[in-house]
Amino acid sequence: MFVHQVNDEISLRLVDLGDVGELFKLTDESREHLRAWLPWLDRTKTQKDTEEYIKFSKKLYAENKGMNTIVLYKGDMAGVAGFNEIDWDNRIAYIGYWLGEQYTGKGIMTRVAGALTDYAFNGLGMNKVDIRAAEFNIGSRAIPERLGFKQEGRIRSSEFLYDHYVDHIVYGMLKDEWKGYEL
């Protein structure tokens, strides 16, 4: 099983069916916070929905097409982060992430995204890492900006959030630009 120690307080491990209850609870407790920027909250109403997400994630990993991990902060489940997609033909890894509301503002996700970027380049041999965030999701956009990603463009009406479309801002980092990150 994939486990990656980010620093003394943060680690990542593959999502597993044993996480269903705790992951659903974290999602449910942060539902309104997450709903502002994530389109799947209304489709995640029961533990069974979370179980289906985990099964899908495990299938992606088994097929070498993605990797979703649980973010552990001081031993507690804090959120999910990973590669929503791995494009082996073009050597691009697409990072996605979210944190439970009580874990935001601590620098956790910047460290996690930095560790995932480093792993994409040095562990998977990727040439590029892509992070996308809604235009007005300032918190999520700050993460690639802090890590030195370049803003590459905008995808108009990229995602439907319940009753409206949002544009996505695309950030990219190339392997030869990556300087690493500070823990």
pTM: 0.94
| pLDDT at res. 182 | 67
List the CATH code of the domain at 3-129: 3.40.630.30
Contact (CB, 8 A) for 61 and 84? no
Domain spans, the chain? 3-129
| pLDDT at res. 77 | 98
β-bridge pairing 128-134 and 3-5? unpaired
d(CA 64, CA 26): 27
Residue 167, pLDDT above cutoff 80? yes
In tens, the pLDDT along 138-166 reads 999 999 999 999 999 999 999 998 899 99
Reported as a pLDDT band with limits 50, 70 and 90, residue 183 is low
Residue 122, pLDDT above cutoff 90? yes
